[in-house]
Amino acid sequence: MQTLKVPYDTFSDEWFKKIEKIVLGDYKFNEEQKKFIHYCESAVIKAGPGSGKTTALAAKVALLLKKIEVEGSLTGVCVITHTNSAVDEILKVLKKLGYKDIPHPHFIGTVNEFFNKYGMLPFLKRANKGLVDIYFSEEKILKKYFRNELAKKHPWFRATGQSYIQNSNGVIERLINSHLYFDTDGKLNTETFQHGSFDKYKDDYLFSKKESWKKGLFHVNDTFSLAQKYFKFDSVKRRLQGRFKYLLMDEFQDVSPLALQLLKKVFLLEGNIFQMIGDSNQHIAYSNPEVSTKGFKTYYLNQTNRFGDSIATVLNKMFQDNLKPTESKKSLQPILLLYKDPKKLSDCFKLILNQKDIMMANEHTAMLVAARSHAQILGGKINKTNKQKLESTFQKAKNEIYRLLAEETKFNIQSIKRELQREYASYDLKINKTLIEYYRGTANHTLIRDSINLFLNVFGSNSKINKTNGLFRILEELKEVESISPTKISDKNSMKTIHDLKGQTLKANMVYLYKNSREEHGFLKSYTSLLEPPRYYNDINKRVVFVAMSRATTFLAVALHVDTYDSLTEEAQMKLKEDFIVQRDSKILKEHTSKSI
pLDDT digits (tens, 9 = 90+) for 440-492: 677 778 888 888 888 888 777 888 888 888 888 888 877 665 443 444 434 56
pLDDT of residue 481: 55
Proportion of the chain in helix, strand, coil states, percent, rounded to 5: 50, 15, 35
Three-class DSSP category at 239:
helix
- Average pLDDT rounded to a whole number, residues 339-343: 95
Average pLDDT of the chain, as a whole number: 86
Tell which wins on pLDDT, 177 or 485.
177
Do strands 188-191 and 179-182 pair parallel, antiparallel, or not at all (unpaired)? antiparallel
Is 303's pLDDT higher than 90? yes
- Residue range 194-217: mean pLDDT, rounded: 88
Distances (CA, A) of 480 to 90, 93, 390, 447, 484: 22, 21, 12, 19, 6
Q: What is the reported pLDDT for 491?
A: 54
Is 54 annotated to bind a ligand? Reply is yes
The answer to the question of whether 25 is labelled as a binding residue is no
User: From the CA atom positions of the chain, what is the Rg in Å?
Assistant: 26
pLDDT score, position 134: 59
The least confident of 5-9, 49-53, 301-305, 534-538 is: 5-9
- CB neighbour class for 130 (10 Å; exposed up to 12, middle 13-18, buried from 19): exposed
403 close to 471: Cβ distance less than 8 angstroms? no
Residue 129: band (very low, low, confident or very high) from pLDDT cuts 50, 70, 90: low
Number of residues written out for the chain: 597
**pLDDT of 369-428, one tens digit each?**
999 899 999 988 887 655 545 556 777 888 888 888 888 887 878 778 777 765 666 677
3-class state of residue 537 by DSSP: coil
Domains 13-119+230-304 and 309-380+493-594 equal at CATH topology level: yes
Which residues touch 355 (CB under 8 Å, ≥6 apart)?
Answer: none
Q: Is 508 helix (H, G, I), strand (E, B) or coil?
A: strand
460 is in an annotated binding site: no
Residue 143 assigned ligand-binding role: no
The model's pLDDT over 216-245, given as tens digits with 9 standing for 90+, comes to 788 888 899 999 999 999 999 999 999 999
Query: CA angle, 51 as apex, 540 and 387 as ends, to 5°?
Result: 65
Looking at residue 4, what is its pLDDT?
60
Model pLDDT, residue 518: 95
DSSP label at residue 108: E
Most confident of 25-29, 85-89, 134-138, 484-488: 25-29
In CATH, the architecture of 309-380+493-594 is: 3-Layer(aba) Sandwich (3.40)
Q: What is the pLDDT of residue 377?
A: 92
Burial of 266 (0-12, 13-18, 19+ CB in 10 A): buried
**pLDDT for position 3:** 56
Q: Which of 397, 347, 423 is nearest to 596 (CA)?
A: 347
Phi/psi at 333 (nearest 5 deg)? -65, 130
The pLDDT confidence band at residue 1, using thresholds 50, 70 and 90, is very low
Domain ranges of the chain: 13-119+230-304, 138-218, 309-380+493-594, 393-483
90, 101, 477 from 69: Cα distances, Å: 18, 14, 38
Query: 3.90.850.10, 2.60.40.10, 1.20.1250.20, 3.40.50.300: which CATH number matches 13-119+230-304?
Result: 3.40.50.300
Is 51 among the annotated ligand-binding positions? yes
50 is in an annotated binding site: yes
The structure's pTM equals 0.78
Q: What is the mean pLDDT of residues 82-89?
A: 82
Q: What is the mean pLDDT of residues 256-277?
A: 92
Least confident of 80-84, 331-335, 384-388, 405-409: 384-388
